[in-house]
């Protein structure tokens, strides 16, 4: 059953926007089954410019993306929505005006095109839920994050976002129901940006999923490896395939790109016959590229861990393995010595830790110690992220956190969630 929410009050701009249509036209040769944004409104009739339907059903079928010109890039961390004239602030910030416009889907030669990833200017609160779970991920269709979203929620509707913080805000503003975002890679280490965003936003971790990374070398049809003069991809993907690239394309220049799948899309959109991309096999299928070499990662044990985020936490259980993630800061003047006490609280109760990550304290990154007579020194202050193998439904986990709280000035449980126990293979999957 579809939920009914209050009527939205907004000023709709003309539907046809030349620059946005031109951007969307780049994807016209690919299917977009999993990347559309469906929005619904209260059942009253509406009148839209440019001949868009007068009923909710007509509007819904015509809607590709509901875009909102809500903030400049400098204020991207404080995007908010407006619902029936009431401003719902996110993280204590708000915007005075919300100007909505419809971005139509594009077709070329009778084929539907892919939709651009959500950006900071595309965020506006969706007034109601549909029956399909909507999952936000960072990147464009064909990214490894899309494969992770598909594994975490197989029957979901994937929503691409151009930045990590946009995916967080998409869930907070009800555009998406879940977000699936990477936090660490077995070779590249932690993704610090997402750890910082976990603390900045109020979403809850409700699960995890691990995806083997299977890299391919992609180029336009007919291009041979010896014709490649440039290879582009995400910096981590380039580092993970350095050995293979030296053998396959020894004369090619290596250039960093912001996303693996976006690199493949860029080659297809600009018809670059001297350029190849390191991306997934799905990206080759979506953007009409050929696979010059398959499985070019230097290390077969290349796995990325993703977190599943939601607005509400799940109820911890004890009938299956659970993991709990917390973040804390030391008490004033205690410094990093408190870390030993925290670890002891878990060790005493035989609780295994799977992750420890330190990040600079956002409110007080430097602490001054000493006195005027001897001199002063500056020490860095940190917040600590810890994952441990226990459910918050267990007494030992509750007692451990009760003790940890005595040593910390700040303690927050980010989530208690089922561990990903599914087997994985280094062979490519249908999604990757």
Model pLDDT for residues 280-291, shown as the tens digit of each residue: 999 999 999 999
Mean pLDDT of 386-400: 96
| 102-160 pLDDT tens trace | 333 444 444 556 666 766 555 544 444 445 899 999 999 999 999 999 999 998 999 99
- Residue at a domain's end among 226, 261, 294: 294
Which position among 306, 322, 328, 388 bears the catalytic label? 306
Closest CA to 303 of 386, 429, 425: 425
CATH number of the CATH domain containing 329: 3.30.70.260
Distance CA(80)–CA(205), nearest Å, equals 22
User: Above 50 in pLDDT, residue 13?
Assistant: no
How many Å from the N-terminal Cα to the C-terminal Cα in the chain? 33
Closest CA to 160 of 133, 174, 140: 140
| 240-273 pLDDT tens trace | 999 999 999 999 999 999 899 999 999 999 999 9
CATH number of the CATH domain containing 182: 3.40.190.10
Distance CA(392)–CA(398), nearest Å, equals 6
* Region for residue 396 given its phi and psi (left: phi exceeds 0; alpha: psi -120 to 50; beta: otherwise): alpha
Does residue 25 lie within any of the structural domains? no
Distance CA(25)–CA(113), nearest Å, equals 7
β strands within 300-391, DSSP E: 303-310, 322-330, 353-360, 366-371, 375-380, 382-388
User: Above 90 in pLDDT, residue 87?
Assistant: no
Q: How many domains does the structure of the chain reveal?
A: 3
Which position among 304, 324, 383, 408 bears the catalytic label? 304
Does residue 166 lie within any of the structural domains? yes
Closest CA to 305 of 133, 196, 190: 190
Report yes or no: 310 and 150 within 8 Å, Cβ to Cβ: no
20 vs 299, higher pLDDT: 299
Whether pTM > 0.75 for this model: the answer is no
The answer on 224 and 205 residing in a single domain is: no
The answer on 308 and 200 residing in a single domain is: yes
Confidence of residue 18 (pLDDT cuts 50, 70, 90): very low
Does residue 15 lie within any of the structural domains? no
Active site residue 304: yes
- Residue at a domain's end among 249, 277, 312: 312
- Residue at a domain's end among 263, 294, 325: 294
The answer on 307 and 164 residing in a single domain is: yes
The answer on 373 and 230 residing in a single domain is: no
Does residue 423 lie within any of the structural domains? yes
The answer on 417 and 391 residing in a single domain is: yes
The answer on 409 and 319 residing in a single domain is: yes
The answer on 346 and 256 residing in a single domain is: no
User: Which pLDDT score, from 0 to 100, does residue 377 have?
Assistant: 52
The answer on 229 and 191 residing in a single domain is: no
Does residue 190 lie within any of the structural domains? yes
User: Which pLDDT score, from 0 to 100, does residue 376 have?
Assistant: 52
Distance CA(68)–CA(126), nearest Å, equals 11
Mean pLDDT of 68-89: 35
Does residue 264 lie within any of the structural domains? yes
The answer on 370 and 236 residing in a single domain is: no
| 47-72 pLDDT tens trace | 333 333 334 333 333 333 322 322 33
Question: How high is the mean pLDDT of the chain?
Answer: 74
Cα 366 to chain center, whole Å?
A: 30
User: Above 80 in pLDDT, residue 234?
Assistant: yes
The answer on 197 and 233 residing in a single domain is: no
Q: Which structural domain range is residue 377 located in?
A: 315-427
Does residue 106 lie within any of the structural domains? no
Classify each residue of 282-310 as buried b or exposed e, where b means 16 or more C-beta atoms within 10 Å of its C-beta: bbbbbbebebbbebbbeeeebbbbbbbbb
Distance CA(409)–CA(333), nearest Å, equals 11
The answer on 361 and 221 residing in a single domain is: no
Does residue 349 lie within any of the structural domains? yes
| 335-370 pLDDT tens trace | 567 888 999 999 999 999 999 998 887 665 555 555
> Which residues have C-beta within 8 Å of that of residue 129, sequence separation ≥ 6?
2, 3, 174, 177
* Region for residue 60 given its phi and psi (left: phi exceeds 0; alpha: psi -120 to 50; beta: otherwise): alpha
Distance CA(337)–CA(407), nearest Å, equals 10
The answer on 194 and 306 residing in a single domain is: yes
| 290-314 pLDDT tens trace | 999 999 999 888 899 999 999 999 9
């Amino acid at each position: 059953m579809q939920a009914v929410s209050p009527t939205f009050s907004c000023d709709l701009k003309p539907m046809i926007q030349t620059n946005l249509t031109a951007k969307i036209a780049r994807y016209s040769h690919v299917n977009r089954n999993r990347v559309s944004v469906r929005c619904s409104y209260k059942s009253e009739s509406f009148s839209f410019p440019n001949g868009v339907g007068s009923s909710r059903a007509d509007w819904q079928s015509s809607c590709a993306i509901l875009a909102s010109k809500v903030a400049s890039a400098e204020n991207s961390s404080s995007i908010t929505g407006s619902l029936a004239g009431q401003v719902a602030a996110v993280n204590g910030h708000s915007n005075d005006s919300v100007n909505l416009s419809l971005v139509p889907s594009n077709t070329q030669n009778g084929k539907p095109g892919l939709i651009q990833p959500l950006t900071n200017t595309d965020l506006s609160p969706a007034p109601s839920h549909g029956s399909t779970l909507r999952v936000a991920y960072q990147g464009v269709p064909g990214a490894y994050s899309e494969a992770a979203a598909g594994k975490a929620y197989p029957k979901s509707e994937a929503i691409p976002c151009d930045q990590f913080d946009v995916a967080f805000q998409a869930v907070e503003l009800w555009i998406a129901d879940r977000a699936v975002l990477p936090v660490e890679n077995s070779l590249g280490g932690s993704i610090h940006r997402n750890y910082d965003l976990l603390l900045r936003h109020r979403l809850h971790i409700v699960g995890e999923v691990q995806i083997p990374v299977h890299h391919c070398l992609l180029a336009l049809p007919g291009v041979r490896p010896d014709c490649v003069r440039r290879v582009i991809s995400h910096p981590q993907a380039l580092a993970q395939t350095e050995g293979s690239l030296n053998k396959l394309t020894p004369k090619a220049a290596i250039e960093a790109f912001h996303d693996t799948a976006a690199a493949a899309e860029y080659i297809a959109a600009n018809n670059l016959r001297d350029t190849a991309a390191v991306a997934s096999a799905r990206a080759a299928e979506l953007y009409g590229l050929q696979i010059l070499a398959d499985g070019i990662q230097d290390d077969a044990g290349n796995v990325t861990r993703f977190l599943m985020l939601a607005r509400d936490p799940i109820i911890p259980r004890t009938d299956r393995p659970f993991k709990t993630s917390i973040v804390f800061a030391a008490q004033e003047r205690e410094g990093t010595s408190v870390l030993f006490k925290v670890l002891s609280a878990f060790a005493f109760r035989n609780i295994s830790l799977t992750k420890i990550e330190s990040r600079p304290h956002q409110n007080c990154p430097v602490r001054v110690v000493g006195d005027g007579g001897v001199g002063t020194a500056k020490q860095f202050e940190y917040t600590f992220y810890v994952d441990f193998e226990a459910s918050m439904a267990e007494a030992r986990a509750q007692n451990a956190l009760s003790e940890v709280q005595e040593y910390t000035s700040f303690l927050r449980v980010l989530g208690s969630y089922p561990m990903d126990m599914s087997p994985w293979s280094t062979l490519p999957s249908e999604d990757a």
